A and B are shown apart, each in its own frame.
Chain A
Amino acid sequence: MVRRGILGLSAAGAAVGGLASAGLGLLAPTSARAQEAGTSRLQTVLERGHLIVGTGSTNPPWHFEDESGTLVGMDIDMARLLARGLFDDPEKVEFVLQGPDARIPSLITEKVDIVCQFMTVTPGRAQQADFTVPYYREGVGVMMMADGDYKTFDDLKAAGSDLTLSALQNVFIEDWAHKELPEARVDQFESPDAALQALNARRVDGYFGDQSAIRWLMQQAPDRYIDAGRGWMPNSYASAVKQGDPIWLNWVNTVYREAMLGVDFDYFAASYQKWFGITLETPKVGFPSEFA
């Protein structure tokens, strides 16, 4: 079940939608609201019979529509894992599509129960929403053509100022690239597809971008690209819930942690393999996770 914000994918849409759903109940078919004081959202969701998740639809491999128009991706898998844990049915989830700027407002206005939308954990955001345990550590990296001149990260470093990278135009992008490749030239493009095409056309030596995007692109075209093998600028992706509900937060954390280390490891590993093309090693058994 996918619900699109009628007023657009914006914070304003989320806020107005939330107000409308509270007041008129016209714009939003189902509201995540109706949580009585003192009741955990866990209880509300169980009574409602389905989970309401805020996410996006335009960022592979996190949340995007496949050829058949079905919403898929790593974030979507995490949401379905929650639905499975709640109702023993991964389909009992309603997705509310929103822009990244609506992630916190939609929690505050209780338009959604949880946000699964490649959300970077920052101290600032943590003052406005409660983050779950992270399920991915994002970072930047470089992808090259498999048959190109450069094969390893050391090759890139040795190339010095002869190296040209393509990247999506961003205020920090040059600083990020120069952190590990101080002399590289960075050609900044308006869209990620133009930056990738610059690599395909061999206009640049490498595509500089998010590690997850690189893995996804490599998964899409096996043998065409290679990863330079170095990632930097780490940041954690987690889900977020409305502040002040430890029961709900703890339940989600339990599900996530056990997906990464416990009973749902196979599910998590299959998702990871599907979206990033990487086979996770089974967590070391016979020890508490702190020793593994």
Chain B
Amino acid sequence: MLNYNFNWSVIWRNWDAFLDALLLGLGMAVLSLLVGCIIGLLVAYARLAQNRVLQWAAWAYVELIRNTPLLLLVFMCYFGLPELGIRFLDKVESFVLTLSLYAGAYMAEVFRAGLSSIPRQYVEAAKAIGMRPWQRQRWVVLPVMFRITLPSLSNNLISLFKDTSLAAAIAVPELTFTARQVNANTFRVMEAWLTATALYLVTCYAIALALRAVERRYASIR
């Protein structure tokens, strides 16, 4: 038997702080995914471009980000950028920038695979009806690619939301930081971490359910 007396009143007293922290984490994850998608799309096109320099630069970016622990990237951005004179980002913005760059590298790979898997006939059909190159991308390639990559987008959003816990390391008051703070202030270790765990779990599951519904509506079967 667990020899521990639970006292949940500390959680109710700090409930607003937990909810604010949850919303901050969600907001940072969604924003990072959006910016990451833009970065990822540009990088994916760069990797498939004819230009060798572009190809190499895109490859270097993806490999650098994917092979470096996210926590180190967070530190580099938060502690390192000001040393280079970049001081206008506060701690939340600095974290969102890091998470966006991180998401960008992963989304680049997802989009590259998506772009590569679009059936050649679709593009040829678009050419046959006289579409210009950018029209082919806008009306044929991108819509199909987004439908193909929708499940990966959902997975990435859930991953990014969980990754926001690393923002605690630079004192961003998201869910992990708040749990640690409540823990430090009240020594109610079990209550604080169980609450954070439950909030992460419920939120991730809710995101998964919602995005699964979107997938059912939009994801294509080729």
Q: Are A171 and B185 in contact (CB under 8 A)?
A: yes
Contact with B along A177-206 (1 / 0, CB 8 A): 000000000011110001001101111000
Query: Is the C-beta of B171 less than 8 angstroms from some C-beta in chain A?
Result: yes
Which residues of A are found within 8 Å of B78, using beta-carbon distances?
198, 201, 203
A120 at the interface (CB under 8 A from B): no
| Across-interface contacts of B187 in A (CB, < 8 A) | 171
* B83 lies within 8 A of A188 (CB): no
Chain B 166-187, CB-CB to A under 8 Å as 1, else 0, gives 0011110000000011001101
Report B-chain residues with C-beta under 8 Å of the C-beta of A187. 91, 171
Give the one of A170, A200, A201 with max B CB within 10 A.
A201
Within 8 A of A (CB), among B128-185: 168-171, 180-181, 184-185
Kindly state whether residue A169 has any CB partner on chain B within 8 Å. yes
How many residues in A have their beta carbons less than 8 Å from beta carbons of B?
15
Determine if B79 and A200 form an interchain contact, defined as CB atoms under 8 angstroms apart.
yes
Size band of the interface chain B makes with A? 10 to 19
The A-contacting residues of B in range 69-117, CB under 8 angstroms, are 75, 78-83, 87, 91
Interfacial chain B residues near A203, Cβ < 8 Å: 78-79, 82, 91, 170
Closest residue on chain B to residue A202 by CB atoms: B82
Contact with A along B27-47 (1 / 0, CB 8 A): 000000000000000000000
CB 8 Å contact bits of A145-171 with B (1 = contact, 0 = none)? 000000000000000000000100111
Given contacts A187-B91, A187-B171, A202-B87, contact A197 B184 (CB under 8 A): no
Not counting A187-B91, A197-B75, A202-B82, a sample of 12 additional A-B residue pairs whose C-beta atoms are within 8 angstroms of each other reads A171-B184, A189-B169, A189-B171, A190-B168, A194-B170, A200-B83, A201-B78, A201-B83, A202-B87, A203-B78, A203-B82, A203-B91
Seen from chain A, the residues whose Cβ lies within 8 Å of a Cβ on chain B are 166, 169-171, 187-190, 194, 197-198, 200-203
